[in-house]
Structure 1
Amino acid sequence: MSSTTPVIGVLALQGDVREHLVALAEADTVARPVRRPEELAEVDGLVIPGGESTTMSKLAALFGLLEPLRERVRAGLPVYGTCAGMIMLADKLLDGRDDQETIGGIDMIVRRNAFGRQNESFEAAVGIAGIEGGPVEGVFIRAPWVESVGGDVEVLATYDGHIVAVRQGRVLATSFHPELTGDHRVHAHFVEMVRAEA
């Protein structure tokens, strides 16, 4: 990886892929969709977008990506998950389907759809530790929250008494969608995480 231009993939199986590609490109990266194991092998970091987590996990298995994703996360690949991406990065789920699989990577228990159904979606200002310039506008769409975290997990933000942003080592996750607001500070923060691993 060039020290100035990391290659960051967006898992492009389902969800709001385009918005993340735009946010990453504006953060001075080479941003590409990832649909196959060989594309995953070429990236310095990865974003797992929002969408529908059960569909995403089924498609990851179908495309032969589930095990390669787990292996890269265990090997230290920097990863950022939003909404369904947070669910995919959880070691344990509440209210998940019996057959739902995750990638894991963050020692946390996540409750799916915790903030309500689609028609209960909302926007809120969220102060995130490590993000300068004031709160980030978060879009919560059938959003999860984190019920509990292990000792190595850093809680970065809460909203209404619930954990909505966490980090464990090289893995970052938010309950909400910053990519939908035009404020790309969280993506820029993730890009700096990727550069730090260069």
Structure 2
Amino acid sequence: MKIGVLALQGAVTEHIKSLRQAGAEEVVAVKRKEDLADLDGLVLPGGESTTIGKLMNQYELMEPIREMAKSGTPMFGTCAGLILLANRIHGQDWAHLGVMDALVDRNSFGRQRESFETDLTIKGLEGEPYRAVFIRAPHIMEVGPGVEILSTYQNRIVAARQDNLLGTSFHPELTDDVRLHQYFVDMVRESVKLNS
């Protein structure tokens, strides 16, 4: 099982470390189109979504990643990565990958200085509440019928899943709790089993 982390911006090394702790056998940084070969799953980390989108186009990654998502490869978008997955962005008439049936509002929790941490209950995670780190976070305003809401905070959707796509408003790689990465690794494992 081989999982990639899009390495154009954001907390790439933290995601790689969390995925390894969560039991992923092989984790690689993805910077070029060739790096996508043989991947069983892909993480789209935080950062600035417009910048990441431009870089994805520049390095010819947008189309192949979109095709991977459509063909069922598990993908996990965190913060800006969630914005990249969404098919609708509030106040914007275009999307990036456009593969997840969700309307996302960018920076909906305020600027950098309004960053915060809070405890969340997340569907599918056992044990105590999950400590989530929000930094200039987006939130999901609405979802289509095929999207399962996994967590909300102040009546805003902050984690959701649509088949092979997982998205969170917050940064799971910035905590020592690897349960969400474990959830994603399990998604990848399941997908590998189904396709073998």
Same fold (TM over 0.5): yes
The answer to whether the 8 A contact 2:10-2:47 is kept is yes
Aligned length: 191
Task: Give the one of 126, 143, 161 matched to 2:155.
Answer: 161
Give the match for residue 25 of structure 1.
20
Give the match for residue 131 of structure 2.
137
Query: 2 CA distance for matches of 1:90 and 1:135?
Result: 26
The answer to whether the 8 A contact 2:81-2:167 is kept is yes
Counterpart amino acid of 2:40? Answer: D
Query: 2 CA distance for matches of 1:194 and 1:177?
Result: 19
Cα deviation digits, residues 127-161 of structure 1 (max 9, x gap): 10001112111100000000000000000000011
Query: 1 CA distance for matches of 2:116 and 2:78?
Result: 15
Task: Give the one of 34, 43, 50 matched to 1:47.
Answer: 43
Q: How much does 1:106 deviate? A: 1.1
- TM-score computed with the length of structure 1 as normaliser: 0.94
Greater shift after overlay, 115-124 or 38-47? Answer: 38-47
- TM-score computed with the length of structure 2 as normaliser: 0.95
Q: How much does 1:95 deviate? A: 3.8
Counterpart amino acid of 2:140? Answer: V
* SS of structure 1 residue aligned to 2:73: coil
Structure 2 residue 3 is the aligned partner of structure 1 residue 8: yes
The answer to whether the 8 A contact 2:46-2:79 is kept is yes
**Cα RMSD between the aligned structures?**
1.0
The answer to whether the 8 A contact 1:57-1:101 is kept is no
Structure 2 residue 186 is the aligned partner of structure 1 residue 192: yes
For residues 92-107 of structure 1, the aligned pairs below 5 Å read 92-96=88-92, 101-107=95-101
Query: 2 CA distance for matches of 1:48 and 1:188?
Result: 16
Query: Where do 5+ consecutive residues of structure 2 fail to align?
Result: none
The answer to whether the 8 A contact 1:117-1:142 is kept is yes
Structure 1 segments (4+ residues) deviating >2 Å? none
